[in-house]
Amino acid sequence: MGEWREATVSGLTSRDADLREPQAVQRAVRETGPDWIVLSAAYTDVDGCESNRDLAFAVNRDGAVNVAVAAREAGARLLFLSSDYVFDGSKRTPYEIDDVRNPQSVYGTSKAEAEVRLLELMPACCIVRTSWLFGAGGKCFPDTILKLAETRPTLNVVDDQRGCPTYVVDLARAIVQLCRKNSAGIVHVTNAGNCTWFDFAEQIVKQSERKTNVLPVSSEQMARPAPRPAYSVLSPARLQALGIEMPSWADALRRYLEQRQG
């Protein structure tokens, strides 16, 4: 990406090192000799984590610790991707960086415990909490809605979970700036504004000029194995204090849909 100009970027994958294997992680870090490690790899299947608890903690918590240990040995800085799911969702005003963690799911607990361990091991590490990611290169909510809209005249979408959609391109830009500013501690990085999944789906259908009707339903009607926070809006106060502003989620969606078309 343009933002990493004048930097050498090595994109490592699970084929280069399994986070659960400390020696493989150490070797990968030693071989690349980075100034910064951006740890975005994780076991991200939120419902799968409920039935694969051991795997969730082995990858998301212990794997992150393995990376922190290797980073410390190599004298590298670490930026760790965390989640809005570290909160219970009981607030009705944006979560600040120092609000108490109280995760309700196994995935959220594995991320919350990783945060605590990393800050103990490496107080200068940077923890970026983000939420509701969308973008090219994987499964994401806008793609799912557009696919369903091809065949279904009506879509039921939950209207009692509020959060911040985040375009991975905007997140990546903010991460580069955080590294360049040598940031440490917890930072919330999401697109600006907030909405429910229902609002998000309506906006996807509207912006892409589809005819599908979107209907609001409750989380109870769409029961899933892992509980989701009812409210997980993350306050941008710390990000703004660092001089970084994020575009609105609706603008980010427009840019994503444009690049998706072609």
Ligand X SMILES: NC(=O)c1ccc[n+]([C@@H]2O[C@H](COP(=O)([O-])OP(=O)(O)OC[C@H]3O[C@@H](n4cnc5c(N)ncnc54)[C@H](OP(=O)(O)O)[C@@H]3O)[C@@H](O)[C@H]2O)c1
Task: Report residue 89: phi and psi, to 5°.
Answer: 85, 15
Q: How far is residue 255's CA from residue 206's CA, in Å, rounded to a whole number?
A: 14
Instruction: Count the residues of the shown chain that bind ligand X, applying the rule CB under 6 A.
Output: 19
Q: What is the closest distance, in whole angstroms, from the C-beta atom of residue 211 to ligand X in the complex?
A: 27
- Residue 83 touching ligand X (CB under 6 A): yes
Q: Which residues contact 139 (CB under 8 A, 6 or more apart)?
A: none
14 binds ligand X (CB under 6 A): yes
Nearest distance, CB of residue 140 and ligand X, angstroms: 8
CB of 223 to ligand X, least distance (A): 20
Q: Is 254 a binder of ligand X (CB under 6 A)?
A: no
Verify binding: residue 33, ligand X, rule CB under 6 A: no
Identify whether the C-beta of residue 188 lies closer than 8 Å to the C-beta of residue 240: no
Amino acid code (one letter) for 103: P
Cα–Cα distance for residue pair 87/103, rounded to 1 Å: 5
CB of 42 to ligand X, least distance (A): 3
Q: Does 41 bind ligand X (CB under 6 A)?
A: yes
DSSP 3-state of 52:
coil
Question: Is 54 near ligand X (CB under 6 A)?
Answer: no
One-letter amino acid for residue 5 of the chain: R
Q: Is 117 in the site for ligand X (CB under 6 A)?
A: no
CA of residue 145 relative to chain centroid, distance: 19
Angle at 145 between CA 142 and CA 147, to 5 degrees: 105
x-marked contacts with ligand X along 129-168 as a string, rule CB under 6 A: -xxxx----x------------------------------
Does residue 8 bind ligand X (CB under 6 A)?
no
Task: Pull the structure tokens for residue 6.
Answer: 């004048």
Q: Which SS3 state, helix, strand or coil, does residue 252 take? A: helix
Determine which one of 95, 107, 231, 256 is catalytic.
107
- Toward ligand X, which CB reaches closer, 77 or 165? 165
Active site annotation includes 231: no
Q: What angle do CA 18, 48, 54 make, to 5 degrees?
A: 55
Region 169-208 residues binding ligand X, contact defined as CB under 6 A = none
Return residues touching ligand X (CB under 6 A): 13-14, 18-20, 40-44, 59, 63, 81, 83, 130-133, 138
